[in-house]
Structure 1
Amino acid sequence: MAMRMQKSHLLVRAGTVSALTLVTLGGPAPAPGAAAEPELASVSTKALRIAASKEGAPYRWGAQGPDAFDCSGLTRYSYRRAGRALPRTAAQQYRHTEHVSRSARRGGDLVFFHAGSGVYHVGIYAGENRIWHAPKAGAVVRLERIWSRTVWYGRVR
């Protein structure tokens, strides 16, 4: 029984489980209307995978893919391919997201770098305090540790 519960917990966390699968594995059936959260998790997970697949693509100001990106172009491209629309700039994307705390962040959330109230950079949270992003001219899309404490987090709905 413990193994079945562990398995169902992992499937729920991955956002890849249906009510029938949970019942079959012996886990709790989700409440009516609870399907939205796993769907959102799968969209953000897909966006994260898409961003990671662009590793090594060159930074180019204003570029939105598929072969070159600026920071908000990468996040917009990744989420568009995952099925969600985002505005063009990092600041617009911040206003478009549900703001979450550092402790509530999860893979696929957007990480916004700011100075005061102005957002100047965005990446996709990959876990373990790292982001996928298109950093600057002369660089490429890469996975990097978050280097600043002045960041906000946003969840795409």
Structure 2
Amino acid sequence: MRKTLTAAAMSLTILFTMGTGNAFADSNLDKVVNSVYGTPYKMGGTTVKGFDCSGFTKYVFKKMGVTLARQSKAQFKQGTSVAKSQLKEGDLVFFNTLGNGVSHVGIYVGNGKFAHASSSKGIHIDKLSNSYYQNRYVGAKRILSKYTYRLFATEL
């Protein structure tokens, strides 16, 4: 019973956190992210027992049949660069959190927000406008093709 209540509360939190009116809200991508929301952070983690940032993005994209490199720096070399003003749900967003280039990655979920593996909160959704992330933003990459975007990141 407690797990059911926790899952219901988490679902409501995600719903209110993400907002309404974006393509991501009712997509397969949304379902994959929601299925691991709250999973704890684990350095080197790539499974539902714990994720680091690139382990999370690799896991989500694998569920969509897309292969990503294992580390954030290598993921940054994949796909096509996208201007921040042109972000679409499913784009990867990259940050310099350690002072030596790309060191963190998340998945843009629309409405100025991204899902990522936070070292303190686990899989979580934050605003790109949060001063911490805004000051460390490096860039974004579009990994999904037009076909895979339609298949996974648009409303069902």
Select 2:58's aligned residue among 73, 76, 79.
Answer: 76
Distance in 2 between residues matched to 1:153 and 1:123, nearest whole Å:
9
Deviation digits for residues 52-91 of structure 1, max 9, x if unmatched?
A: 3211100000001123100000000000011000000001
Aligned partner of 1:105 in structure 2 is 87
Gaps of 5+ in 2: 1-21, 145-156
Distance in 2 between residues matched to 1:132 and 1:65, nearest whole Å:
16
Distance in 2 between residues matched to 1:119 and 1:52, nearest whole Å:
25
Aligned partner of 1:126 in structure 2 is 109
**Displacement after TM superposition at 1:49 (Å):** 3.1
Deviation digits for residues 4-53 of structure 1, max 9, x if unmatched?
A: xxxxxxxxx96xxxxxxxxxxxxxxxxxxxxxxxxxx9xxx534431232
**Displacement after TM superposition at 1:128 (Å):** 1.2
- Which is further off, 54-63 or 107-116? 107-116
Aligned partner of 2:153 in structure 1 is none
Q: TM-score, normalised by structure 2?
A: 0.66
The one-letter code matched in structure 2 to 1:100 is V
Bigger RCO of structures 1 and 2 (CA < 8 A, at least 6 apart): 2
Give the conservation status (yes or no) of the 8 Å contact 1:86–1:93.
yes
Partner SS, residue 68 of structure 2: coil
Distance in 2 between residues matched to 1:139 and 1:101, nearest whole Å:
28
Dislocated runs of 4+, deviation >2 Å: 45-49, 114-117, 147-151
Partner SS, residue 111 of structure 1: strand
Give the conservation status (yes or no) of the 8 Å contact 1:135–1:141.
yes
Give the conservation status (yes or no) of the 8 Å contact 1:48–1:78.
no
Aligned partner of 2:96 in structure 1 is 114
Greater C-alpha radius of gyration? 1
User: In percent, how many aligned pairs have the same letter?
Assistant: 33
Gaps of 5+ in 1: 1-12, 15-40
The one-letter code matched in structure 2 to 1:126 is V
Partner SS, residue 61 of structure 1: coil
